[in-house]
């Protein structure tokens, strides 16, 4: 298979080697950015929000390109992603209780 | 129901007549497994964060740049590199290049094993400092259980992934498995990578020792 034909074949299955390399470089750069941020001594909540935000961005790149979800039918995305985000979001309801416990223990 | 309506009912995408997602059952099964495993790791990370917030004596500055952060950053880059080799394996399998796909799968397995080796070394550093499942020198005893629990479950996933990829490499190399099997194993591997993208900042980077 010629180089161009191989490229077209790869593209038909979602993405080219160049695209995947670009995504990988992006993921490594974001990772190094996270390590840098960790040493800037931000308040804990600010730090958490920045790190989780960057992690969500990395997760999005992995799911969209490495796991090919961007190249699948949109119905698969609609079945998987909103339900997962909803369930993960529901688990955060426990956090007000952790703050209550912290206040009890501090006073 | 007229004939055309009944035909539409049988062949309609949501009526069992077609594949609504245009993917095979193995791939759909892996996506559903990944959804369930997302819940497992989310629950563990939420429990870790809950405990950290609720305990004033939680160890908040545990990991120095050397060795902990240097090791965990290297582990992250190694795992990301293994995801790239997995992408190459899937692309080779789509081209029908069995030899190349097997080589990329073996490279991915090597990445997984290097990750585990670095991680076990990092564990020993902490154990030498006195961290145990139910105690540690710095504060809330639960820290050790949550740390070893989360990172241990993730390492178990990596080891299972290495074995899984080994079976797939053997099966694909001997024509027992097809390209879809390689792609489905790739989904699992990328998921293991994805989980680490949350474990690394939440467990390590949120607890750096300045």
Is the N-terminal amide bond of B67 cis, ω within 30° of 0?
yes
Residues A57 and A25 reside in one and the same domain: yes
Residues A77 and A52 reside in one and the same domain: no
Q: How close does chain B come to A40, measured CA to CA in Å?
A: 9
Residues A83 and A61 reside in one and the same domain: no
What band does A15 get if pLDDT is binned at 50, 70 and 90? confident
Residues A40 and A79 reside in one and the same domain: no
Residues A64 and A85 reside in one and the same domain: no
Residues A16 and A48 reside in one and the same domain: yes
A7: pLDDT strictly greater than 50: no
- The answer to whether the predicted template modeling score (pTM) of the entire model surpasses 0.95 is no
Of A55, A76, A98, the CB nearest to B201: A55
Residues A58 and A92 reside in one and the same domain: no
**How many structural domains comprise chain A?**
2
On whether the CB atoms of residues A20 and A71 are closer than 8 A, the answer is no
A30 touches chain B (CB under 8 A): no
Range of the domain at A37: 1-72
Residues A68 and A17 reside in one and the same domain: yes
On whether the CB atoms of residues A84 and B38 are closer than 8 A, the answer is yes
Residues A82 and A41 reside in one and the same domain: no
Of B28, B56, B86, the CB nearest to A106: B56
Bridge partners of B63?
B208
Residues A62 and A77 reside in one and the same domain: no
Q: What is the mean predicted confidence (pLDDT) over A51-70? A: 97
Low-confidence ranges of chain B (pLDDT < 70): 1-17
B20 touches chain A (CB under 8 A): yes
Of B43, B56, B206, the CB nearest to A102: B56
Residues A21 and A65 reside in one and the same domain: yes
Q: The complex's ipTM?
A: 0.91
A9: pLDDT strictly greater than 50: no
What band does A8 get if pLDDT is binned at 50, 70 and 90? very low
Q: What is the mean predicted confidence (pLDDT) over A41-70? A: 96
Domains of chain B and CATH, by start: 23-207 (1.20.120.80)
pLDDT at A41: 86
B194 vs A59: CB contact, 8 Å cut-off? yes
pLDDT at B20: 79
Residues A60 and A80 reside in one and the same domain: no
Count Cα neighbours of B77 within 13 Å in the Cβ-side half-sphere: 14
A47 touches chain B (CB under 8 A): yes
A28 touches chain B (CB under 8 A): yes
């Amino acid at each position: 298979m010629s180089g161009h034909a191989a490229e077209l074949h790869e593209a038909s299955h979602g993405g080219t080697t160049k695209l995947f390399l670009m995504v990988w470089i992006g993921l490594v750069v974001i990772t190094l950015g996270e390590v840098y941020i960790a040493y800037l001594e931000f308040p804990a909540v600010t730090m958490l929000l920045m790190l989780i935000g960057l992690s969500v961005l990395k997760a999005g790149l992995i799911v969209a390109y490495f796991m090919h979800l961007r190249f699948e039918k949109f119905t698969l995305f609609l079945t998987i992603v909103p339900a997962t985000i909803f369930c993960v979001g529901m688990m955060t309801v426990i956090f007000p209780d952790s703050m209550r416990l912290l206040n009890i223990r501090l006073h | 129901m007229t004939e055309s309506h009944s035909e539409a009912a049988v062949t309609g995408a949501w009526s069992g007549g077609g594949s609504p997602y245009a993917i095979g059952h193995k791939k759909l099964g892996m996506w559903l497994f990944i959804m369930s495993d997302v819940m497992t790791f989310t629950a563990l990370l939420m429990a870790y964060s809950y405990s950290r917030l609720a305990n004033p004596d939680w160890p908040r500055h545990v990991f120095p740049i050397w060795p902990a952060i240097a090791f965990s950053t290297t582990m992250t880059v190694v795992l990301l590199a293994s995801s790239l080799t997995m992408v190459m394996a899937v692309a080779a399998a789509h081209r029908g290049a069995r030899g190349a796909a097997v080589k990329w799968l073996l490279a991915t397995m090597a990445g997984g094993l290097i990750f585990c080796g670095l991680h076990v070394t990092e564990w020993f550093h902490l154990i030498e400092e006195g961290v145990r499942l139910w105690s540690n020198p710095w504060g809330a005893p639960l820290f050790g259980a949550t740390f070893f629990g989360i990172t241990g479950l993730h390492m178990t996933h990596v080891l299972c992934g290495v074995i899984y990829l080994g079976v797939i490499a053997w099966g694909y190399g001997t024509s027992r498995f097809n390209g879809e099997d390689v792609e489905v194993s790739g989904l699992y591997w990328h998921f293991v990578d994805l989980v680490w993208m949350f474990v690394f900042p939440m467990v390590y980077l949120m607890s750096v020792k300045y």
